[in-house]
Amino acid sequence: MEKKWWQTAVGYEIYCKSFCDSDGDGIGDLRGVISKLPMLKDLGVTCIWFAPLYVSPQADNGYDVADYEAINPDYGTMEDFKELLDLAHSMGIRVIMDMVLNHSSDEHRWFQESRKSKDNPYRDYYIWRPAKADGSEPNNWGSYFREGNGSAWQWDEVAGEYYLHQYGIKMPDLNWECQALREEIYGMLNRWLDFGIDGFRLDVITRLKKMPGFPDSTKKPEPKLDRNGFVVDRDMCTNVEGIHQIIRELNRRVFGREDCFTMGEGAGVNPTNAPDYILPERQELDSIYHFQLASRKGPRLTAEQFRTVQKSWAKVGEMGGTYIQYLSNHDSQRQVSQHGSDKAYRTRSAQLLGTLMHTTPGIPFIYQGEEIGMVNVRFDSIDDYNCCYTVGPYYAMLDNGFDPATALADVAQTSRDNARTPYQWNAQKNAGFTDGKPWLKVNPRYEEINLEADLAAEDSVFRYYQKLTALRREHPAIVEGNISFLLEEDPNVICYTRVCEKETLLIVANLSEEEVAFKLPESVKGGFSCLLRNVKEGIGLTGENELLAPWECAVFVAE
């Protein structure tokens, strides 16, 4: 079967706000992105995913959309976006837009209308419920961002009812039971495809359907953070029966269009329920990304976890499903800090983690800055943080009696701001991101870690990533090969083959800070030559006892 364009793609997520500021207002913009397209081309990127670019009050940096069909003026104009799109296409780079269909901003015209009266034509676009007899919230659901009193319901004076918001108070959930809302969304999505974009990344797409009847959750509140008895119960709105009917209709009306690529954010998705979302015959989504490796709060990746997760998803792949390989995005920590070494072996571990993502089955997505080994940040004051998952829980902890230092330490490590500090282009003021005052502080390590310094170094993360993306172009086994793991008991060494009709690749990686022993299993016969390695005089696959240096990895091809 002929491949779809996305199956061979190398993805790259741009968080525009933090990428490159062309006009000195401290906020990244589209003209900044245009100026950096050649860099992305050099890196080997063939598909950009833009985090939301729409008009938005920025309560959640654009995931609170006030107008789905207009570009945020801080980022530029529709003309700028068109220019960017055409230029990207002329360079062989596709562009997909983030689409937030679970909720809008409370400043969206639909919501402003909706709240006005019960017979307003937009009333049903959102989820309104009366208060209980004592005036309290319709049920005990808690919101993810834990703003206000922690409830997922907000009283609206104008409407005289509560509305549901799974996320922030300023992010009311849209009502997918309402056909008029659906029609409005289909029209909007189709207009974007007509405009020339190549598809969508679908924000929290598994959460569009809510538990019918809105029953109370019977789960216990999390002891540390939940307040007033409200419970963050994912099951009430994730993978709820009926979700597939909604996505199939989206596919029939929009996503099924020629060459349109969809990538769902798979909250609550695992290898068991993923096939229903992504097998081609289901006609729902083209691909999904899951959280089993890249979990913001998760512990450091282990070899065993890597093998288990990759093996179980490989089964989904064998059934015909496509999934995304990534270790970080705008919602995570920096991968080199979370899973690698951000001190002595920063470059090498960044290269190793990249190798794992670019040599396993699926579509690799790079998150901006990963290709130069950007690291987590630690600010001294909560006032320097912006992310809702950081600020909301911080104040919830204070309300629960924690002292500020403990609360800050708790939220800082897993803050999404780790990934959102401005891109570090060079060692100049503000890391070359802006001439003005950056909207979020630059990581203080920018003088050491920046693109210019990386490219000038003998050992560069960026140049290594270029080789990874070249491997994908030149070696069919990277895209098509089956994956099989060797040395499955090893606590540190990850070793696997990728085999297709045309070739066999073998990948070895030491996921630890220690030197470890390595011996190729006797079952593996024949000679290998090295395609890529991150340590100069590295292992040779001699079949004898060898030593893998800390964070050493290499990709071999069978001769």
Q: Work out how close the CB of 215 gets to ligand GLC at its nearest, in angstroms, rounded to a whole number.
A: 23
Give yes or no for residue 106 binding ligand GLC (CB under 6 A). no
**What does the DSSP 8-state code read for residue 26?**
S
Smallest separation (angstroms) from ligand GLC to the CB of 51: 7
Residue selected from 96, 99, 100, 449 as contacting ligand GLC according to rule CB under 6 A: 100
Task: Check if the beta carbon of residue 427 is closer than 8 Å to that of residue 450.
Answer: yes
Q: Which two tokens stand for residue 105?
A: 């901003």
- In angstroms, rounded to a whole number, what is the distance separating the alpha carbons of residues 417 and 437? 17
Q: Are 62 and 52 in contact (CB under 8 A)?
A: yes
The DSSP bridge pattern shows strands 287-289 and 261-265 to be: parallel
Q: Closer to ligand GLC at the Cβ: 63 or 496?
A: 63
Cβ-closest residue to ligand GLC?
A: 63
Joined together, the tokens standing for residue 433 give 């991101």
Nearest to 48 by CA among 1, 7, 15: 15
Structure tokens at 304: 């065993």
Q: Which is nearer to ligand GLC, 44 or 62 (CB)?
A: 62
For strands 67-71 and 324-325, give the pairing. unpaired
Contacts of 209 (CB under 8 A, 6+ apart): 176, 237, 240, 241, 242, 243, 246
CB 315 within 8 A of CB 305: no
Q: Specify the amino acid at residue 317.
A: G
Per-residue binding letters, 244-283, with ligand GLC (x by CB under 6 A) = ---------------------x------------------
Candidate list 265, 331, 371, 490, residue with the active-site label:
265
**In whole angstroms, what is the distance from residue 35 CA to residue 21 CA?**
10
Q: Which is nearer to ligand GLC, 335 or 341 (CB)?
A: 335
Distance, in Å, from the CA atom of 511 to the CA atom of 516, rounded to the nearest integer, reads 10
Closest CA to 325 of 371, 350, 282, 290: 290
Distance in Å, CB of 125 to ligand GLC, minimum: 17
Contact between 167 and ligand GLC by CB under 6 A: the answer reads yes
**Alpha-carbon distance 268 to 234, whole Å?**
8
Number of residues that bind ligand GLC (CB under 6 A): 9
Q: Is residue 203 flagged as an active site residue?
A: yes
For residue 487, the Cα-to-chain-centroid distance in whole angstroms is 30
Per the residue annotation, which of 64, 80, 203, 286 is the catalytic one? 203
Check binding of 203 to ligand GLC (CB under 6 A). yes
By the rule CB under 6 A, 60 interacts with ligand GLC: yes
Identity of the residue, 16 or 555, whose beta carbon is nearer to ligand GLC in the bound complex: 16
Q: Does 454 engage in binding with ligand GLC (CB under 6 A)?
A: no
Minimum CB distance to ligand GLC smaller for 102 or for 217: 102
| Nearest CB to ligand GLC, comparing residues 60 and 454 | 60
Among 15, 49, 63, 365, binds ligand GLC (CB under 6 A): 63
Q: By CB under 6 A, name the one of 48, 204, 461, 535 that touches ligand GLC.
A: 204
Taking the complex as a whole, how short is the minimal distance between the CB of residue 65 and ligand GLC, in angstroms?
A: 9
Binders in 327-356 for ligand GLC, by CB under 6 A? 330-331
Exposed (0-12), middle (13-18) or buried (19+): which is 453, by Cβ within 10 Å?
A: middle
Minimum distance from residue 172 beta carbon to ligand GLC (Å): 12
Shortest gap between Cβ of 392 and ligand GLC (angstroms)?
11
Minimum distance, C-beta of residue 255 to ligand GLC, in the bound complex (Å): 19
Is 106 a residue of the active site?
no
Residue placing its CB nearer to ligand GLC in the complex, 161 or 331: 331
CB of 86 to ligand GLC, least distance (A): 27
Query: Do 328 and 420 meet the contact criterion of CB atoms below 8 Å apart?
Result: no
CB 478 within 8 A of CB 494: no
Closer residue to ligand GLC in complex, CB, 63/551? 63
| Residue from 370, 376, 422 nearest 40 by CA | 370
Rounded distance, CA 190 to CA 208, Å?
A: 19
Residues that bind ligand GLC (CB under 6 A): 60, 63, 100, 167, 203-204, 265, 330-331
Q: Which residues are catalytic?
A: 203, 265
